[in-house]
Amino acid sequence: MATEALHENETLASLKSEAENLKGKLEEERAKLHDVELHQVAERVEALGQFVMKTRRTLKGHGNKVLCMDWCKDKRRIVSSSQDGKVIVWDSFTTNKEHAVTMPCTWVMACAYAPSGCAIACGGLDNKCSVYPLTFDKNENMAAKKKSVAMHTNYLSACSFTNSDMQGCDKKAMVWDMRSGQCVQAFETHESDINSVRYYPSGDAFASGSDDATCRLYDLRADREVAIYSKESIIFGASSVDFSLSGRLLFAGYNDYTINVWDVLKGSRVSILFGHENRVSTLRVSPDGTAFCSGSWDHTLRVWA
Amino acid sequence: MPALPIEDLPEKEKLKMEVEQLRKEVKLQRQQVSKCSEEIKNYIEERSGEDPLVKGIPEDKNPFKEKGSCVIS
């Protein structure tokens, strides 16, 4: 029996050392191709001009922290969800509320607009993802038409109508092949939890926002981090990130109530936006890139342009 | 695809999975950062001229412009 236990320990030890060796090799391989920094390549790119972006609309109506939001493809409707248990669909041009659904739980952490514009999905502490068809018929009870599409063993933190191929779990960002269910690449350079990941418009890279107060850009073909967006003066975590249409700008919402706008190529901050009176929890650029919307623990959403 | 209860697996199984995964990742075909960065730069340069948030939108074309002629913001 003792020899069996010894054998077991040896195998564990050899597996551990193999894992360490492989991690070292991975770092080596990645370092070999690290011949230049992104901002060096972008040295001769014209610098961006002065930014004049301000709040154009403030959407008020939630009774508690706004946790998530998404744009409709029509570039004007927005769905938002809140700790107050409500999911609201807004017309961002007029600020009118078009639909409101009360969820059976508080902390509705995730919501998404269907590409068709005809439904929304949401979920949270109820451990489910539910889809609600949107109807303008005043006699229809939206809640009655709800359909549950997924049961999870824990709370729903994000949902999306397209294959969500990425997740930030702890300090690691992982890229998954949805067809095989395999993790294809993993990146662990953040020093703290990753709160948000977003694909770069071309699909060849992605950005992440983390509690370590930095945002980073990872190139999938180079298989490594290629840029860090940080400043000594920024000490609060970044909760949500999104790119502008061309990918030149990275908008990031922070726990210090601000939104920082970064020049993706040069690595510098081009603007800092004030307005929210509590943490920025969610941020998305509109489908045509004309504006972006931020949601906050101050119960409001703001549309900036 | 069935979800695996990772926390319930014995240490050895977890390590085996980690080693297998790392072996796959090491074999990945990678490109030079210089080449990838050039491509990102070119992608952006081609499109940033048409990026509304980069070049700005004239007030009269901005769908989110303030309504009315007198605005106190």
**With left for phi above 0 and alpha for psi between -120 and 50, is residue A75 left, alpha or beta?**
left
Q: Taking residues A258-266, what's their average pLDDT?
A: 96
CA distance A262 to A213: 13
ipTM of this predicted complex?
A: 0.81
- Which of residues A9 and A134 earns the better pLDDT score? A134
Q: Which of B26, B29, B53 to mutate to test the interface with A (most CBs of A within 10 A)?
A: B53
CB pairs under 8 A between A and B: 166
Given a cut of 50, is residue A273 above it in pLDDT?
A: yes
Q: Output the DSSP codes for A42-60.
A: TTTSPPP------EEEEE-
* Burial classification of residue A225, based on how many CB atoms lie within 10 Å of its CB (0-12 exposed, 13-18 middle, 19 or more buried): buried
For residue A176, give the nearest of A167, A168, A186, A165 by alpha carbon.
A165
CB A156 within 8 A of CB A127: yes
pLDDT of residue B69: 46
Q: Identify any residues that bridge with A147 across adjacent strands, giving them in sequence order.
A: A131
- pLDDT digits 0-9 by tens, B19-67: 998 998 888 889 999 999 999 999 999 998 889 999 888 877 788 876 6
User: Which chain A residues are closer than 8 Å to B34 by Cβ?
Assistant: 35-36, 41
How close does chain B come to A266, measured CA to CA in Å? 10
Band (A281; pLDDT cuts 50, 70, 90): very high
User: Which chain B residues are closer than 8 Å to A56 by Cβ?
Assistant: 62, 64-66
Band (A245; pLDDT cuts 50, 70, 90): very high
Q: Which of A127, A220, A221, A226 to mutate to test the interface with B (most CBs of B within 10 A)?
A: A221
Looking at A30-34, A56-60, A93-97, A240-244, which range is the least confident one? A30-34
CA distance A300 to A55: 12
Q: Is B72 on the interface with A (CB under 8 A)?
A: no
* CB atoms inside a 10 Å sphere around CB A36: 16
CA distance A77 to A267: 32
Q: Taking residues A126-133, what's their average pLDDT?
A: 75
Secondary structure, 3-state, A107-150: CCCEEEECCCCCEEEEECCCCEEEEEECCCCCCCCHHHHCEEEE
User: Which chain A residues are closer than 8 Å to B63 by Cβ?
Assistant: 75-76, 93, 290-291
CA distance A59 to A91: 9
Q: Taking residues A54-60, what's their average pLDDT?
A: 95
How close does chain A come to B9, measured CA to CA in Å? 14
- Are B31 and A30 an interchain contact pair (Cβ–Cβ within 8 Å)? no
Given a cut of 50, is residue A147 above it in pLDDT?
A: yes
- Which of residues B28 and A181 earns the better pLDDT score? B28
Q: Which of B40, B46, B55, B59 to mutate to test the interface with A (most CBs of A within 10 A)?
A: B40
Band (A82; pLDDT cuts 50, 70, 90): very high
What is the percentage of chain A residues whose pLDDT exceeds 70? 84
- Are A221 and B23 an interchain contact pair (Cβ–Cβ within 8 Å)? no
pLDDT of residue A239: 94
Band (A301; pLDDT cuts 50, 70, 90): very high
- Are B52 and A57 an interchain contact pair (Cβ–Cβ within 8 Å)? no
Q: Output the DSSP codes for A236-276.
A: SPEEEEEE-TTSSEEEEEETTS-EEEEETTT--EEEEE---
User: Which chain A residues are closer than 8 Å to B46 by Cβ?
Assistant: 246
For residue A111, give the nearest of A135, A136, A93, A84 by alpha carbon.
A84
Looking at A6-15, A69-78, A255-264, B9-18, which range is the least confident one? A6-15
- Are A15 and B63 an interchain contact pair (Cβ–Cβ within 8 Å)? no
Q: Is B4 on the interface with A (CB under 8 A)?
A: no
- pLDDT digits 0-9 by tens, A213-239: 999 999 999 999 999 999 999 999 999
pLDDT of residue B1: 41
CA distance A210 to A195: 5
Q: Identify any residues that bridge with A102 across adjacent strands, giving them in sequence order.
A: A86
Max distance between CA atoms of chain A, in angstroms, equals 75
